[in-house]
Amino acid sequence: MGRVSVNNLKEGMILEEDLSAPNGRFILGKGAVLKESHIRMFKIWGVAGASVEGAEDGEIVREEELREEALRAARAFADSYFPPAGEEPLPAAAIRDFCARKFAAQIEGGKPPTPLPVMDAFPRPPEGHFGRTFSAWNLAKNEVRLVSFPDIYFKIQDVINSPLSSATSIAKVVGKDPSLTARLLRLVNSSFYGFPNPIQSIPRAIAIIGSNELTALALAVSTMTVFKHVPPSYVDMKSLWMHSIACGVFSRLLAYSKRIRNEERFFLAGLLHDLGRIILYTKTPAEMTYAIELSVFERIPLWRAEKRVFGFDHSSVGRVLLEAWNIPESIRKLCDFHHAPLDENAPEEALFVHAADYIANGLRIGTSGSVYLSPVEAEVWEALELEEGDMESILVQGERQIREIMNIFLVA
Ligand SMILES: [Fe+2]
Ligand SMILES: [Fe+2]
């Protein structure tokens, strides 16, 4: 009898005592016979192991030792790119700890996280670099002409702004795009919303979540088509969208935890926050390679290296794009200040996107190129007003939603 780590639990084992998730949520009672679906659920909820009947003691001790070893390696890995721990506020410590447990499970499962890139010598700038000057506006302006923003968004906006608009007229516009309709319905039926009954039509979805929210989601879904032709040699778009989805999901969950409603715009801001980087990768690949090398060599976040190389970072480039595309200011500003939420011009709500970006980078769900994390100011954590255990449940919920959304958005 004894504890068996989650990776070694098997179908048919019997729980020796009640099982709860690390956040205290009750999962399954004593005496339950484990099924494959239970074990999957334990992993989703971050359960490390369970006490089961009839397990051999020696086997358990060996497993615990292996687990300890994996956890040590995972902690060292997380510490190698997180800011120095010091006297970390509670939410920051919870994120680091969650990441370490996640990586430990990956190590135990034989799929350790990808090692960090290494740069032994000080990187050399590209030929002629110091003779060049860069402007965010110049870099983005051609792109605005080449890449138009999804038409559907503006069509829906027109309908909403019209005095005669109704749920049926919005549904008509959305309904013209079957793939958008299908994705929207999958989204409103996913754990992102967690509605108990299935929503089978767009008018019903609008009635339940509201037309502004549905517009934001329609924009989010269609955003994926922007830049879909960028060649992989410049930037791995899938990985960038994964990072963006993760940032969007966590922004939304953080806003929600502060009882802010209409949180769809936070999801959208997460999706759009690093768009400027795509322009930098495609327009100035040699300089971006230099910026990445600098960030790796000096162990600084990529946006800081971009400032050194270009004189500005990707948020300035993104601003030009989002302005040209007439993205509402309430969303644009969240993106503009995602690296500077305490700036005097930043809206208070930019801190959700800022903290979410930190979480997404920490968990290493996709990447937009940055390896090292910028510390989040204590003031930001305080403003989030999270209680003990809140961050853990946000991380668990977020990971599950991200998996579902990636299936809806990234699978053709
Ligand atoms: Fe960024
Ligand atoms: Fe980011």
Q: What is the mean pLDDT of residues 319-339?
A: 91
Starting from the CA of residue 339, give the closest ligand. Answer: 1
Starting from the CA of residue 358, give the closest ligand. Answer: 2
Question: What is the model's pTM?
Answer: 0.82
Q: Give 16 Cα–ligand 2 centroid separation in angstroms.
A: 44
Q: Is 315 helix (H, G, I), strand (E, B) or coil?
A: helix
pLDDT of residue 227: 79
Helices marked H in 147-236: 151-161, 167-175, 178-188, 202-209, 211-223
Higher-pLDDT residue of 406 and 95 is 95
Q: Which residue has the tokens 């305080």?
A: 382
The mean-pLDDT minimum among 26-35, 336-345, 362-371, 382-391 falls in: 26-35
Paired sense of beta strands 26-28 and 19-20, if any = antiparallel
Q: What is the 3-state secondary structure (H, E, C) of 23-57?
A: CCCEEECCCCECCHHHHHHHHHCCCCEEEECCCCH
Higher-pLDDT residue of 284 and 183 is 284
Q: Give 338 Cα–ligand 1 centroid separation in angstroms.
A: 6
Distance CA(22)–CA(322), nearest Å, equals 40
pLDDT class of 151 with cuts at 50, 70, 90: confident
Q: What is the mean pLDDT of residues 164-180?
A: 80
Starting from the CA of residue 317, give the closest ligand. Answer: 1
Higher-pLDDT residue of 44 and 134 is 134
Contact 332, 323 (CB under 8 A): yes
pLDDT of residue 147: 67
pLDDT of residue 46: 74
Q: Give 160 Cα–ligand 1 centroid separation in angstroms.
A: 31
Q: What is the mean pLDDT of residues 79-83?
A: 95
* Kind and range of the H or E run holding 20: strand 19-20
Q: Give 372 Cα–ligand 2 centroid separation in angstroms.
A: 12
pLDDT of residue 178: 84
Starting from the CA of residue 240, give the closest ligand. Answer: 2
Q: What is the mean pLDDT of residues 289-308?
A: 96
Buried b (16+ CB within 10 A) or exposed e, 347-368: eebbbbbbbbbbbbbbbbbbbb
Buried b (16+ CB within 10 A) or exposed e, 176-188: ebeebbebbbbbb
Distance CA(314)–CA(161), nearest Å, equals 32
Q: Extract the tokens encoding 125.
A: 């700038």
Q: Give 309 Cα–ligand 1 centroid separation in angstroms.
A: 15
Contact 34, 15 (CB under 8 A): yes
Query: pLDDT, tens digit, for every residue of 43-61?
Result: 777 777 888 887 666 566 6
Distance CA(281)–CA(234), nearest Å, equals 6
pLDDT class of 207 with cuts at 50, 70, 90: confident
Sequence letter at residue 66: L
- pLDDT at residue 343 greater than cutoff 80: yes
Fold for domain 2-108?
A: Molybdopterin biosynthesis moea protein, domain 2 (3.90.105)
Q: Give 105 Cα–ligand 2 centroid separation in angstroms.
A: 25
Quote the percentage of the chain above a pLDDT of 90.
50
The closest of 398, 405, 396, 409 to 41, measured between CA atoms, is 396
Phi-psi region of 393 (alpha: psi -120 to 50; beta: other; left: phi over 0): alpha
Residue 376: other Cβ atoms inside 10 A:
23
Contact 350, 333 (CB under 8 A): yes
pLDDT of residue 142: 76
pLDDT class of 208 with cuts at 50, 70, 90: confident
- pLDDT at residue 382 greater than cutoff 80: yes
Mean of the per-residue pLDDT values for the chain? 88
Fold for domain 129-149+226-410?
A: Hypothetical protein af1432 (1.10.3210)
Higher-pLDDT residue of 16 and 1 is 16
pLDDT of residue 113: 94
Distance CA(93)–CA(62), nearest Å, equals 28
Q: Give 34 Cα–ligand 1 centroid separation in angstroms.
A: 43
pLDDT class of 311 with cuts at 50, 70, 90: very high
Q: What are phi and psi of 4, to 5 degrees?
A: -125, 135
pLDDT of residue 75: 95
- pLDDT at residue 164 greater than cutoff 80: no
pLDDT of residue 114: 92
Q: Extract the tokens encoding 207.
A: 């009635």
CATH 3.90.105.10 segments of the chain: 2-108
Q: What is the DSSP letter of 130?
A: G
Query: pLDDT, tens digit, for every residue of 232-290?
Result: 888 898 999 999 999 999 999 999 999 887 778 899 999 999 999 999 999 999 999 99
**How many residues appear in the chain?**
412
The closest of 362, 348, 358, 356 to 394, measured between CA atoms, is 356
* Range 53-62 contact pairs with CB under 8 angstroms and sequence separation of 24 or more: 53/1, 53/13, 53/14, 53/15, 53/16, 54/1, 54/13, 54/14, 55/1, 55/2, 55/3, 55/4, 55/13, 56/2, 57/2, 60/2, 60/3, 60/4
pLDDT of residue 61: 64
CATH 1.10.3210.10 segments of the chain: 129-149+226-410
